[in-house]
Amino acid sequence: MEWKIGNVTIPNQIVVAPMAGITNASFRLTAREFGAGLVVCEMISDKGIKYHNEKTLGMLFIDPKEHPVSIQIFGGDKESLVNAARFVAENTSADIIDINMGCPVKKVVKLDAGSHWLLDPDKVYDVVHAVSSAIDKPVTVKMRTGWDDDHLYAVENALAAQEGGAAAIAMHGRTRAQFYSGHSNWDILHDVAEKLTIPFMGNGDIKTPEDAKFMIEEVGADAAMVGRAVLGNLWKLNAMEHYIETGELLPEPTVREKVNIAKLQLERLVDLKGEHVGVPEFRQQAAYYLKGIPHAVRTRAKVMNEDSMQAVFDTLDQFVESYEQREARSPKIS
């Protein structure tokens, strides 16, 4: 089902969350092809933009085929965020600009950035109003339910962002204190969804097509924002979208199909960053693709030591062949 963030049409209700070190242009493009309605860039530092840091500016690359796409910025200073948003709006083809108010990581929080904003709804209003007034692209905010259990300003912060001119809100159902442990609190997300008049993306612990449908139909979100569950499982995006639309569960891909997606991912990463950077960066992804497949431990270890794309391809192909031979030999139980 189509929906809108400002004037930007999102073709379905599955959104891929920004993930540091992962949601670069190559990952985002593949995620779009596998069924994501919207993809969000890994967070980009306002200071990196200000000082024209080469690595930061490289992260702003957008492939023409990945639209609609959102670029997420973070920082602890209103003026600096405004300038970063202006730079992104004027120098990239981003459809949407997102402000990170959710990152729990210490080195981000100590800059008064990320989750630190959640301690004061007035500051949330102030910065969102300043950024949304400065650019003509839709501004969204990604936040958590609160700083800790004593500072749960989920509804207040979401309403402050809406009042400040945000075109949509994404919220992760954990506090900053929880990081990624414990459970995502969908009851709080339900309270927020009920109060907002702008679109709301619910995030945290969406692992299956059923979870995604529950987030939309029971929690009341306009879209399900998926993060870690799609690492090595990009096909899940299509499965979630299909289940929301039809109520039908798609079969899991074969091991060969999963490995082919992994190879596509690596190829795109190498196209984007070169072999020297792309292959080492892919190693972590390879572990996700092989997770849960019987007899994959040795292959995973071997991939970790490969330096060329061809060597990784060969290792993965050998694994698939031996896996399929083993399957063909094993007696089938009818």
Q: Report, as residue numbers or ranges, the catalytic residues.
A: 103
Query: What letter represents residue 191's amino acid?
Result: D
C-alpha–C-alpha distance, residues 128 and 161, integer Å: 6
Helix, strand or coil, per DSSP, at residue 201 = strand
223 CA to centre of own chain: 13
Asked if residue 102 lies in contact with residue 114, where contact means CB atoms within 8 angstroms, the answer is yes
103: helix, strand or coil: coil
Question: Do 245 and 37 meet the contact criterion of CB atoms below 8 Å apart?
Answer: no
Phi, psi of 103, rounded to the nearest 5 degrees: -60, 125
- Return d(Cα 195, Cα 132) in angstroms, integer: 21
